[in-house]
A = this chain, B = another copy of it.
Amino acid sequence: MDQATAIAHPNVELIRYWGNADEALHIPSNSSISMNLAGLETSVTVSWSFKNSRDMVTVDGEEPPVSLYRRIVTHLDHIRRLVGKSLRAKVVARSNFPPAMGVNMNASLFAALTLAAVRAAGLELSERELTSLARLGEGAACRSIPSGFVIWHRGDSHETSFAESIAGPEHWPLVDLITVVSLVKHNGTQANGHMLAATSDLQAGRIISAPGRLAECKEAILDRDFRRFAEVVEMDTTMMHAVMMTSRPQVFYWAPITLSIIDRVRAWRDAGLNVCFSIEAGPNVHCICEARDADQIEAQLSSMGGVLEVRKATPGGPARLI
């Protein structure tokens, strides 16, 4: 029995992925940038064997929902095809953070799954090949394989749509204060959302303007220019929510308190603190700040009525075998 365990961090999007150019291959409508989140991680152990009649999967000790099980099996099929053998897998996944906290757990799960399954199968793939492979399972998973600050190049084929690091985690000591206001999964799932993106009359404008924001964000990261970084991150995240709110049907992910946090973050920045917001497909808010301001902002966020928890993360390394 060939077994391997890998750990990956989820990532927070700074320039967002929303909508696919190719739904089946998860080739996105635009390139994106993210930061891996140290402090949060998913570990996945994969054991290949001829014994089992079907793939066995547990996520946090339980059988996953059918939809996730099927996605994992389909992903294992890709790897079986590479190996050329009809092995069955036992997959044990565990995360140290809850689902629906505003962090895409599928990103770290499919990143760790890809790395563990490939290694356990004895395959040798480059990091770039691993990112493309992880992308097939969950688009955002490709960004959880390289280290630190990562760009996912849209590309126009399986091979050219891949992720790579633009700076390691030590490059910029940012802190992501994940401000949790709800742990309830929103009706609109990510998968539905990506397909909904094209139904918004505003999606084309978002996509056309995304390369400009991507270049701006990359430069701001490389220059550690927080003000520039904050402006482009907030604009980009708002653009994604603008598209969501104008899709058919309209999807409003923000809760009232989401807007309160947006207001506070903007006011804090006006007052000189280096903090900005980024919001996934849900009401929780990533308040990304420079380390020097993190304690003060964390205290303020924690004291807001309606905030359930503030979870701290810092720039994280690559997916790795253990």
Taking beta carbons and an 8 Å cutoff, which residues of A are in contact with B? 201-206, 208-209, 234-235, 238-239, 241-243, 245-246, 248, 250, 252, 254-260, 262-263, 266
Contacts and interface: CB of A to CB of B under 8 A. Distances in A.
Given A205-B202, A242-B242, A259 B254 contact: yes
Given A202-B239, A242-B243, 19 more contacts: A201-B206, A201-B208, A202-B202, A202-B206, A202-B242, A203-B205, A205-B205, A235-B246, A235-B250, A238-B245, A242-B242, A242-B246, A252-B259, A252-B262, A252-B263, A255-B259, A256-B256, A256-B257, A258-B259
A246 B255 contact: no
Nearest to A236: B246
Contacts of A250: 234-235, 238
Q: How many copies does the complex hold?
A: 2
| Interface of A, helix, strand, loop or mixed by DSSP | helix
A258 B205 CA distance: 26
Nearest to A209: B201
14 contacts: A201-B208, A202-B205, A202-B239, A202-B242, A203-B205, A204-B205, A205-B205, A235-B246, A241-B245, A242-B243, A242-B246, A254-B259, A258-B259, A259-B259
A242 B244 CA distance: 10
A227 to B, nearest CB: 13
A217 to B, nearest CB: 15
